[in-house]
Amino acid sequence: MRYQEGTLGDPDDCQLCQLEQATSLENSAMHTEPHAPHDDDDDEEQFTAAMLAEAVENQLAAGKPPAAQASFNKLSLVGYAREEIIELMSQVLAYSIKQMLDSGQPFDMPGYERLLRELPTLPELADEAAQ
């Protein structure tokens, strides 16, 4: 028996469907439009930043991990704008994902939550201060 994805939900609500659609649109655009070499890198960086920001927004909406909302509230109280907070939290998520990929270990949720609580200090800066 082969797994086949059902059609119960609205594709507009499915993040995987949206990601797949965005990727296919991006791939078709690459084959039809001439781009300068640096444009592809910029597009990829913008796409990655958007996906990280969406992941952070989803964490806030779900209330998981709890440190996400706690960090958001702390930074809001000290005067950071929502966009700045999402950017900082996205950088922590990117750092944590990179650590996972580099180490070959599972995602370190306690470590991720610790880094969120340390905001506005970013992980790379925290690593340098510890040395």
Q: Dump pLDDT digits (tens) for 50-83.
A: 999 999 999 999 999 999 999 999 999 999 999 9
With pLDDT > 90 as the criterion, what percentage of the chain qualifies? 60
SS3 107: coil
C-alpha pair distances (Å), 33 with each of 2, 17, 36, 46, 47? 37, 24, 10, 18, 18
Positive or negative torsion for Cα 70, 115, 106, 26: positive
Query: What's residue 43's pLDDT?
Result: 87
Across residues 24-48, what is the average pLDDT? 63
Any alpha helices (H) in 78-118, and if so which ranges?
Answer: 82-103, 109-117
Query: What's residue 58's pLDDT?
Result: 97
- Determine if the pTM surpasses 0.85: no
Across residues 114-120, what is the average pLDDT? 96
Q: Return the higher-pLDDT residue of 41 and 120.
A: 120
Query: What's residue 38's pLDDT?
Result: 53
Instruction: Label residue 8 by pLDDT band (50, 70, 90).
Output: very low
